[in-house]
Each structure stands twice: as structure tokens, then as C-alpha cells.
Amino acid sequence: MRARAMVRPAARGLMRESLALLRAEGAPALYKGLGAHLTASLPGNGLFYVAYEAARAAAAPHMSSGLASTLAGIAGCLASLLIYTPMEVVKQRAMVTRGASSLSVLRDLLRVDGPSGLYRGLGAGALTWAPYFSLYFLAYDFLTVQLCGVPSGEQPLFVTALGCGLLAGMGASALTNPFDVVKTRLQVGGAGLAAMQVTDVASEAGVLAVARSIVAKEGISGFARGLLPRVMLLAPLSSLTISLYSVVHRAAAAIIEGTPVYIAGKAKGSEDQKDGGGAKNKF
């Protein structure tokens, strides 16, 4: 829904867009691009957090926790774009092309553009996701440390990470939506736009050309295209990802240190119980 809303010539509501897609292609069309997304998710997230942890460990001794998290988020973003950019190009073209699957889009893309076509809009991707992750981790660090009282440098409990991650994701996804509109139109390209009955030569010209075209044809409101589905996707997805990461991080530390890990907090008196008395609250 997000990709279709961002490239469609006339704005539609989320419900109207969904119903139109269901009438035209049926329920399976709601899951177009899922194969590409699932294929890239594990290695992409893995690369992101490896780069994030390395950058944060290097930056933390020299600056505040919030700034270290922000810079680490940018580092993780730039590293993961090596995997996520091809996925986004394939996924978004599949989403806007009737009858196309991720595999058929990939074959056509390689035949026409070669491997370089998989990295279409790489710069626009960096301009979209680097601000997103910098804002996300800045807000997440503020919420967990300043509002929830989690000691700087420690991982919050699952529920805390889930709530803070959701709020941070809502803000960051909304604020960076204009960048995503430009990126999506670039990555979909002329062929993808044609499939949506859109003619826009700017889609082949670069970031600034696409941005100017949006302002000229749709006004500033054009940058708000797809805002609701983007927030509905990214906020819970980012929240769940950071929550699971927090649990895994705490579990790994516990295994190394030989101490229990708790999701919802320590049971009363659990420090004095040697027989695992607070086990129901443990991870």
C-alpha cells in the first residue's frame, strides 16, 4: 500500500487503495514483494546490528549516549543498504506491477539494467534511512534512559523496549516520509510508474529532479503520500526488532556472566533466592 500510494498520480485513501487492489488482483496481491523482503531481512538486520554495535562501542567513550546511538544508527543503516537496496528495488516494482512476482521483476531488472539496476536509488536510500535511524535511535535513547530510567549503555526490558521503540518509530517514520516518497519513485523507475499509469521523466533523472517534479505537480502535500501506511508498517516493525534485539543482547550477556535475564523485571527477593524463585519473570 505504501509504495502504490507514493507513486499513484491521484491521491487515494488507504481503504480505497486496498479495495482497488483487491478487486484488480485479489488477496494475494496484498503480499506482493514478501519473498524479497523475507530473503533480505535476516542478513540485512544482522549486518545492521553488527555495524551498529561496533560503531556505538567506538563512539560511546567519547560522547553522550544519545549521540553515540545516533551515529551508530547511521553506521548500521549505511552498511545494511548493501542488502536492503536490491530488496527494496525488487519489492517495490513487484508491488506496483500487475501480475508480477519478486522473481519475475528480478529477472527483468537484471536483463534490462544488469546488476547495477539493483542499486537504483542507493543515494536516495541513504538520504531516507540515515535520517530515519538517527532520529529513531536518538528518540529511543531519550525515552529509555531519560523517561524510563534505564542506565545508559544497558539494554531495557522487553516491554520497555517495545513501548519506547513504537513511539520512536512513529515519530521517525512520519518525519522522514518526504525522503521515502522521492526514494520510492526513483527505485520504481519509469517502467514501474508506467504500470501505475504515471509518466514522469524525472524518475530517471535523480533525487533533486524527482523532488522538484513533486512540488511542481502536487505541491508540498505530495511529500505526505503514503504517510499512514508507512507509519503503520515501520513503527511496529522497528519496535519489535529493537525489543527482540534487546532480549537477545541481555540473554547473551547473561550466558557469558552466568546471571538470569528478566523480561518484565526481577521478582521480589529474587536476588536472595538461589533456587530460581522468580523464574516466571525470567527470559
> Tell me, what CATH number does 34's domain have?
1.50.40.10
pLDDT in tens, 124-170: 899 999 999 999 999 999 999 999 998 887 889 899 999 999 999 99
Q: What is the pLDDT of residue 133?
A: 93
User: What is the per-residue pLDDT for 142?
Assistant: 92
> Does residue 43 fall inside a structural domain?
yes
What's the confidence (pLDDT) of residue 257? 74
Residue 272 lies in a domain: no
| Residue 128 is assigned to a structural domain of this protein | yes
Beta-bridged to residue 142, according to DSSP, are: none
- The answer as to whether 277 is a domain residue is no
Q: Is position 16 within any domain?
A: no
103 falls within a domain: yes
24 found inside a domain:
no
Q: Which residue has the cell 531519550?
A: 142
In a domain, 230, yes or no: yes
**Owner of C-alpha cell 535511535:** 137
Question: What pLDDT score does 31 carry?
Answer: 73
Best CA proximity match to 218, nearest among 200, 237, 206 = 200
Number of folded domains that form the chain: 1
- The whole domain housing 166 covers 2-10+30-265
* pTM score of the predicted model: 0.77
Angle at CA 217, nearest 5°, toward 212 and 219? Answer: 80
Q: Which residues of the chain have pLDDT under 50?
A: 199, 201, 267-283
Which contiguous run of DSSP H or E holds residue 123?
helix 122-141
